[in-house]
Structure 1
Amino acid sequence: MEWSEVDYLGCLQSERRGYAWVMQHHGGLTPTRAWEAALERYPYEPDDAPFRGLLFHDEAWHWAMLAIHGDRYVVEHPELAHPSAEYLDS
């Protein structure tokens, strides 16, 4: 997919915000550390980077749950398989 810079930056900011929210509310990180984790997980990719934005194929909720609970989180924590209402409202 071709991203305009405005679209890419908007998506990047949104996913970072969602990831940080999950890391704070479910991962127990401080707001500062949660934001740092989001920046690490969602680094800026230049517009000529191959597969720019590929990370966006799954929602920030999923990537954060993988970081917190591991790749079997859907099996071991089925209640977390889908984003919570609080996350969606954040």
Structure 2
Amino acid sequence: MTWAEADYVEYLQQERRLFAWVMQRHGGLSPDESEAAALEQYPYEPSDAPFRGLVFHDEAWHWAMLAIHGDRYWADHPEFAQASAEYRALG
């Protein structure tokens, strides 16, 4: 997919915000730690990066749950298999 720069940056910021929220709410990280984790998970990729935005193929909820609970979180913690209503309200 080709991203217009403004669209990419807006989506990147939204995913960072959602990831940080999950890491703080469900992972017990402080606001600063959750923001740092979001920046690490969602680094800015230049427009000529070959797979720019590939991380967007799954939503922030999924990536955060993987970071918190590991592989197969959906089987070990079925209550987190779907994003919470609270998370959905943020988007």
TM-score tier, shorter chain, comes to over 0.9
- Post-superposition shift, 1:25? 0.2
Matches within 5 A, 1:1-90: 1-90=1-90
TM-score by length of 1: 0.98
Identity rate, percent:
69
Number of aligned positions between the proteins: 90
1:11-70 C-alpha deviation (Å, 9 max, x unpaired): 100100000000000000001110010000000000000100000000000000000000
The amino acid of 1:6's aligned partner reads A
TM-score, with structure 2 as normaliser: 0.97
Partner amino acid for 1:2? T
Write the distance in 2 (CA, Å) between the matches of 1:15 and 1:81.
18
Report the alpha carbon displacement of residue 88 of structure 1 after superposing the two structures with TM.
1.1
4+ residue runs over 6 A deviation: none
* Alignment gaps of 5+ in structure 2: none
Inter-partner Cα distance in structure 2 for 1:79 and 1:27: 14
| Amino acid aligned to 2:60 | A
Task: Show structure 1 runs of 5+ residues with no match.
Answer: none
Which one-letter code corresponds to 1:15 in the other structure? E
Q: Could you say what secondary structure the match of 2:3 adopts?
A: coil
| Structure 1 residue 73 displacement after superposition | 0.2
